[in-house]
Amino acid sequence: MAKAEKIEHVGLARVLGPAHVWALGVGIVLVGEYMGWNFAVGKGGAYAALMACWFAGILYTCVAMIDSEVTSTVAAAGGQYTQAKHIVGPLMAFNVGLYLVFAYTMLEAANAITVGFLVDTVATMSGHQGGVDQRPFIILSIMFLAWLNYRGVLATLTFNLVITAIAFTAVVVLFLTTAGIFGAGPLRHADLLSGQAALPYGWLGVLASMHFGLWFYLGIEGTTQAAEEVRSPARALPFGTLAGVMTLAIAATLTWYVCAGLMPWEYLGQSGVPLFDAARLSGSYGLMVFLGIGTLFATLASANGCINDASRAWFAMGRDRYLPGWFGAVHPKYRTPYRSIIFLVPIALIFALGAPLDQVVTFSILSGLLEYTFMPLNIILFRRKWPLDTIKRGYEHPFHPLPAMVLLGLCGLAFFAVFLGYGTQLVAMIAFYIVVSLWFHFWRYRFVNRGAQFTMPWPKPRGY
Amino acid sequence: MTRYQAPVQGKVGQVIDVIVLLIMAIGALYIPLWMGMAGSSKVPQPVTDPTWESLGQNAVMVEQWQKLGFADAASASEMITARFDYSFSIGALVAMIVVIVGYYAILLRFSEKEYREVIAEKFGE
């Protein structure tokens, strides 16, 4: 027992800098350029997807601004979960913790599905009759990355830094090669986006596209999960997160430009690996190989970051007894939340092996969307309970409460966008969170010490 | 204020709680998929004897389809004609709004009750 308690109180290692924060954020999300975003084209056409991309960019700018302020003050493992615990209350924190775990675990499953699909596509192109069984590749990628996470955060995120840089370079090279900057290029926007292909569902399609438009950026807020392992949270977290949003906005626009100029929207809207397909259509074998590697690296980097983030959120909830305390243990040698890492592996596998990609992506987006809806409530309550003169922030976001109001409005639009075409998943997800909230409030919360949950050195909140 | 002492949960209780959580998660999210109750409402519109022209494809589009491995219009027909059905009833929309707003209302109400206990114990009353 004494040994177990000792293990639980070993802290996470503070070894990460701003570049790691950037790599964690962009590494998780860059895969959104390689797969998934194009379902926005399927829901509204190519122009609708571009508009959704920019609206989602505004949404995530608000997320980054708000999140940077709170995170530069609440620098602890668990990110938004820990914020909710200190600012809104335990039940909200429990829900936010689950949003994080499910958003990242579903994203991890989506990445593994894409790895399997890519291997199958390459095998078919190489002349393998009937394709290959994707399941071993799905299982292998999840197990390998879980093992890497088990061994240590520095090695994990350094690995992410390298493969994210390669995947991002691949997007830029594809753009430079195909955009016609160095001569005639293969892009045919005028012909591929003419007539009914421009806006096949009209303006309702633009709204509907917002659903998968979030995929261009979903997960960037995961930078806050590393708060307890960053050397200088007040500087590194805002810098890493905002640099990440800018990187993704650029990559998203380049991706859209290349893909929309090479593929008919009906194909693009259903493609499993759109950037790889774009490279195939460019006519360059070398580019096709590079984008194949880029797709593989982007999915691995994303899945890697997802395991890191989901396990930190699960670990933080275990440490607070919101979940069984067994999960709150840190590995005595590697100093990682190893039990949480191992526990989430089979959940990722169940969805990766048994659910279609667009459904898994939708579950991830829905959990993310619920989390973004929490953020405006969080910042409004934060400023009300602790006005600017009561706590020193590492970063103060400007124009409050405008970003919060804009974020809330865009979240409302995104809920409606999901409702158009994926209403059943929306209902299933909300039903799950309602039931699990009642379970927490009426059963699980009895195992949680009250005052001990509040660990920040802050004064008493106003109004209490 | 009396300090709340949380009971220590036994190992069996911890295992049961994890199983309950797993059942709720997989039950709510995976079983509807497995039973075919969830999924996108995108459905292909059957076209008899499709041609590239009848599918609304111009010469450049046809060229790209062929590069992608779709040799003729029939092979691409299902993909080209699949459309989402965005029709919905006002009742369904209102129900969705009520469910989402109600969910956040429950969260904020119960959280506030729990939060007051936390602050009272942490800072004293």
| Alpha-carbon distance B106 to nearest alpha carbon in chain A (angstroms) | 8
pLDDT category of residue A227 using cuts at 50, 70 and 90: low
DSSP string, A442-460: HTGGGGS-SGGG--S--PP
Q: Does A458 touch chain B (CB under 8 A)?
A: no
| Alpha-carbon distance B50 to nearest alpha carbon in chain A (angstroms) | 16
**CB nearest to B118's CB, from A429, A432, A451:** A451
Its pTM surpasses 0.90: no
pLDDT category of residue A46 using cuts at 50, 70 and 90: very high
**Is the pLDDT higher at A428 or at B90?**
B90
Residues of A in contact with B17 (CB under 8 A): 323-324, 444
Judged against a pLDDT cut of 90, whether residue B35 lies above it is answered with no
Task: Inspect the interface and report whether the beta carbons of A281 and B61 lie closer than 8 Å.
Answer: no
User: Residue B103 and residue B111: Cα distance in Å, rounded?
Assistant: 12
Sign of CA dihedral B4, B8, B14, B17: negative
Residues B73-82 as b or e (16 or more Cβ within 10 Å = b): beebbebbbb
Read off the pLDDT of each residue in A157-184 and give the average, rounded to a whole number.
Answer: 86
**Which range, of A77-86, A412-421, B92-101, averages the lowest pLDDT?**
A77-86
Read off the pLDDT of each residue in A383-409 and give the average, rounded to a whole number.
Answer: 93
pLDDT category of residue A409 using cuts at 50, 70 and 90: very high
**Of A337, A394, A374, which Cα lies nearest the Cα of A71?**
A394
pLDDT category of residue A75 using cuts at 50, 70 and 90: low
Residue A212 corresponds to which tokens in the numbers above? 């998968």
Read off the pLDDT of each residue in B15-37 and give the average, rounded to a whole number.
Answer: 81
CA within 13 Å, CB half, A321: 17
Fold of A2-447: Amino acid/polyamine transporter I (1.20.1740)
**Of A173, A401, A381, A397, which Cα lies nearest the Cα of A287?**
A173
CA within 13 Å, CB half, A464: 24
Q: B84, A416 in Cβ contact below 8 A? A: no
Provide CB contacts within 8 A for A367, sequence distance 6+: A98, A99, A100, A102, A103, A106, A429
ipTM of the complex: 0.88
Read off the pLDDT of each residue in A148-162 and give the average, rounded to a whole number.
Answer: 78
User: How would you class A370 by CB atoms within 10 Å of its CB: exposed for 0-12, middle for 13-18, buried for 19 or more?
Assistant: buried
DSSP string, A245-296: HHHHHHHHHHHHHHHHTTS-HHHHTT-SSHHHHHHHHHT-HHHHHHHHHHHH
A233-246 confidence digits (pLDDT tens): 777 777 788 888 88
Read off the pLDDT of each residue in B116-122 and give the average, rounded to a whole number.
Answer: 95
Using a pLDDT cut of 90, give the percent of chain A over it. 56
**Of B111, B123, B86, B68, which Cα lies nearest the Cα of A265?**
B68
- Looking at residue A357, its pLDDT comes to 87
**Of A80, A105, A106, which Cα lies nearest the Cα of A93?**
A80
Read off the pLDDT of each residue in A195-210 and give the average, rounded to a whole number.
Answer: 93
Q: Residue A60 pairs with which residues in a beta bridge?
A: none
Using a pLDDT cut of 70, give the percent of chain B over it. 94
Task: Inspect the interface and report whether the beta carbons of A464 and B123 lie closer than 8 Å.
Answer: yes
- Looking at residue B7, its pLDDT comes to 94
Q: A347, A105 in Cβ contact below 8 A? A: yes
pLDDT category of residue A165 using cuts at 50, 70 and 90: confident
B45-82 confidence digits (pLDDT tens): 888 899 999 999 999 999 999 999 999 999 999 999 99
Long-range contacts made by residues B89-97, C-beta under 8 angstroms, separation at least 24? B92/A423, B93/A416, B93/A419, B96/A415, B96/A419, B96/A423, B96/A426, B96/A427
Residue A295 corresponds to which tokens in the numbers above? 């797709």
Length of chain A: 464
- Looking at residue A78, its pLDDT comes to 67
Amino acid found at A369: L
Q: Can you give the residue ranges of every domain in chain A? A: 2-447
Q: A318, A326 in Cβ contact below 8 A? A: yes
- Looking at residue A363, its pLDDT comes to 87
Q: How far, CA to CA in Å, does A464 sit from each of A93, A356, A461, B103?
A: 19, 48, 6, 24
**Is the pLDDT higher at B1 or at A232?**
A232
Q: Between A46-71 and A202-213, two packed helices, what is the crossing angle to 10 degrees?
A: 40
- Looking at residue A6, its pLDDT comes to 41
Q: Residue B84 pairs with which residues in a beta bridge?
A: B42
Amino acid found at A227: A
Provide CB contacts within 8 A for A41, sequence distance 6+: A48, A49, A209, A260, A265, A268, A269
pLDDT category of residue A161 using cuts at 50, 70 and 90: confident
Amino acid found at A10: V
Q: A12, A233 in Cβ contact below 8 A? A: no
Read off the pLDDT of each residue in A119-127 and give the average, rounded to a whole number.
Answer: 89
For tokens 């809104």, the residue is: A88
- Looking at residue A275, its pLDDT comes to 94
- Looking at residue B12, its pLDDT comes to 93
- Looking at residue B37, its pLDDT comes to 64
| Alpha-carbon distance A18 to nearest alpha carbon in chain B (angstroms) | 33
For tokens 């259903």, the residue is: A270
User: Residue A209 and residue A420: Cα distance in Å, rounded?
Assistant: 9
Task: Inspect the interface and report whether the beta carbons of A454 and B119 lie closer than 8 Å.
Answer: yes
Mean pLDDT taken over chain A:
88
Q: A324, B17 in Cβ contact below 8 A? A: yes
Residues of A in contact with B13 (CB under 8 A): 324
Q: A91, A441 in Cβ contact below 8 A? A: yes
Distance, CA of A37 to chain centre? 13
B75-111 confidence digits (pLDDT tens): 999 999 999 989 889 999 999 999 999 999 999 999 9
Q: Can you give the residue ranges of every domain in chain B? A: 42-84
| Alpha-carbon distance B24 to nearest alpha carbon in chain A (angstroms) | 7
Read off the pLDDT of each residue in B39-50 and give the average, rounded to a whole number.
Answer: 77
**Which range, of A122-131, A286-295, B48-57, B91-100, averages the lowest pLDDT?**
A122-131
Q: Does A178 touch chain B (CB under 8 A)?
A: no
User: Residue A170 and residue A149: Cα distance in Å, rounded?
Assistant: 25
User: Residue A42 and residue A320: Cα distance in Å, rounded?
Assistant: 43
Q: How far, CA to CA in Å, does B79 sit from each of A245, A268, A370?
A: 33, 10, 32
Closest-CA residue of B relative to A194 is B58
- Looking at residue A11, its pLDDT comes to 57
Judged against a pLDDT cut of 60, whether residue A8 lies above it is answered with no
Judged against a pLDDT cut of 50, whether residue A68 lies above it is answered with yes
Judged against a pLDDT cut of 50, whether residue A3 lies above it is answered with no
pLDDT category of residue B38 using cuts at 50, 70 and 90: low
Using a pLDDT cut of 70, give the percent of chain A over it. 95
Task: Inspect the interface and report whether the beta carbons of B14 and A326 lie closer than 8 Å.
Answer: yes
A9-38 confidence digits (pLDDT tens): 455 667 677 777 777 778 778 888 899 999
Read off the pLDDT of each residue in A384-390 and give the average, rounded to a whole number.
Answer: 95
Judged against a pLDDT cut of 80, whether residue A435 lies above it is answered with yes
Judged against a pLDDT cut of 70, whether residue A331 lies above it is answered with yes
Task: Inspect the interface and report whether the beta carbons of A449 and B67 lie closer than 8 Å.
Answer: no
